[in-house]
Amino acid sequence: MKIHEYQAKAILARHGVPVPRGEVALSAADAAAAARRLGGTVVVKAQIHAGGRGKGGGVKVVKAEEAEATASRMLGMRLVTHQTGPAGQIVERLLIEEGLQIARELYLGLVLDRSTERPVLMVSPDGGVEIEKVAEETPDRIFKEYIRPGAGLGAYQTRKLAFALGLSGPQIGEAGKLMMAIYDAFRATDASLVEINPLIVTGDGHLLALDAKMNFDDNALYRHPDIRDLRDPAEEEPLEVEASKFSLNYIKLDGTIGCMVNGAGLAMATMDIIKLAGGEPANFLDVGGGANAEQIRNAFRILTSDANVRAVFINIFGGILRCDVLAEGVINAVKELGVRVPIVIRMEGTNVERGKEMLESSGLNFTTADTMSEAAERVVAMAN
Ligand code: GDP
Ligand code: MN
């Protein structure tokens, strides 16, 4: 799960990470009031779940008196950055912060490294810009320390990283404290990522998190209701939000063939075979191993409410989910929703003969296929 910058900064501040003074604003009037309280130079920052806002026009350094006008231009705008995709994201919230003198822009990231099964703390003296570019072009400018969970982050590790950042004097101790606080926040919240880009050295020589991003492990959210409450559905794909209500694993894609599949492995294979047949999947929809007729109906409704879908491919292995239950769910859904796009069904497994009979005698227009490749070719032809 992702959260906004202002929410991440509040969490980090509670764990002792220094962040700029600032307030969230939902209207231009809020922004004006916040800017008046901060005074001097302020920064108006669009709050969307994507980075690269600076380059896209979502971060503006202005005089406090200008904050209201800047805020009213930014609120409601469709912000496009290299991370949002071409559709962009509508700005609904702003963060109004004190403007700071920046002497240096550094990078700090803490993520779980799956290959070593440890959190890895990464820093780079080349912060502020796209860190992906640094990783690609000058990987030797990224310094890493792996953290043994039992021992925690060692002071010697923070010193090594502080030296690598080119810090000196009292900044070494400050960086150590900041890194410890970041690790503390990461562990306490079951975060999967904390990223500070840029971590700045201020004009008067102090370290501060100027930007903040936190992601959390969805599987641990049950023990963090306060973090779960920070979820912003406006940032998520509406159909994905709808699907999650029915425990359906749905991800919207850009193609024209709607896929309904049980099991993530079969979903991957289905997308591959659609591509092989020359088509493009409109989504990834895994109804799970033990879906019932009601879930199938909702899955179908969500799938066909995507305007891009021109044909539907149902590819089911009937293990726990029996083929007759699937057929019942699909028939009910089509009767109720009046689906207009062609539907190709390939199923295999428990009660497959009974399932096929039900589809055939339903009087509805289904195309059935015995193999995955035959089904894929048919559905691609229909979508085209
Ligand atoms: P991102 O583009 O979405 O990663 O947003 P950031 O929060 O990282 O802001 C982008 C850039 O705006 C930073 O790298 C800074 O150069 C600049 N910026 C942000 N806040 C301030 C500030 O208080 N003062 C100054 N001078 N620049 C700022
Ligand atoms: Mn940033």
Residue of 5, 42, 59, 107 best suited for mutating to test ligand 1, as the one with most atoms within 8 Å of CB: 59
Alpha helices by DSSP H, listed for 212-322, are: 225-228, 238-245, 264-276, 293-304
Among the atoms of ligand 1, which is closest to the Cα of residue 56? 2
Q: Output the pLDDT for position 357.
A: 93
- Ligand closest to CA 5: 1
The SS3 of residue 377 is helix
Q: Which ligand 1 atom is at minimum distance from the Cα of 127? A: 14
61: part of which helix (H) or strand (E)?
strand 59-63
pLDDT given for residue 211 in this prediction: 97
pLDDT in tens, the chain (384 residues): 999 999 999 999 999 999 999 999 999 999 999 999 999 999 999 999 999 999 999 999 999 999 999 999 999 999 999 888 888 999 999 999 999 999 999 999 999 999 999 999 999 999 986 888 999 999 999 999 999 999 999 999 999 999 999 999 999 999 999 999 999 999 999 999 999 999 999 999 999 999 999 999 999 999 999 999 999 988 888 888 888 888 888 999 999 999 999 888 999 999 999 999 999 999 989 988 777 778 888 898 898 888 999 999 999 988 888 899 889 988 988 998 888 899 999 999 999 999 999 999 998 889 999 899 999 999 999 999
Distance (Å) from CA 175 to ligand 2 centroid: 19
Residue 180 has a pLDDT of 98
Measured from CB, residues less than 6 Å from any atom of ligand 1 are 43, 51-54, 59, 61, 99-100, 102, 105, 128, 197-198, 210-211
Nearest atom in ligand 1 to the alpha carbon of residue 51 is 3
Which residues have C-beta within 8 Å of that of residue 205, sequence separation ≥ 6? Answer: 103, 170, 171
* Residue 217 alpha carbon to ligand 1 centre in Å: 27
How far is residue 167's CA from residue 123's CA, in Å, rounded to a whole number? 12
156 annotated active-site? no
The pick from 80, 196, 210, 214 for probing ligand 1's pocket by mutation, whose C-beta has the most ligand atoms within 8 angstroms, reads 210
Rounded to the nearest angstrom, the distance between the alpha carbon of 50 and the centre of ligand 2 is 9
Ligand closest to the CA atom of residue 84: 1
- Tell me, what's the pLDDT at 117? 94
- Taken as a whole, the chain contains a residue count of 384
**Residue 25 is encoded by which pair of tokens?**
């604003």
Other beta carbons within 10 Å of 75: 20
**pTM of the model as a whole:** 0.81
Contact 303, 283 (CB under 8 A): yes
Kindly report the number of other CB atoms within 10 A of residue 260's CB atom: 30
Please tell me the number of the ligand nearest to residue 108's CA.
2
- Give 59 Cα–ligand 1 centroid separation in angstroms: 6
pLDDT of residue 238: 84
- Residue 32, pLDDT score: 98
Look up 183 and say whether it is catalytic.
Answer: no
Interval between CA 55 and ligand 1 midpoint (Å): 10
- Mutate which of 5, 12, 43 for ligand 1? The one with the most ligand atoms within 8 Å of its CB, which is 43
How far is residue 214's CA from residue 192's CA, in Å, rounded to a whole number?
A: 8
Cβ atoms 329, 294 nearer than 8 A: yes
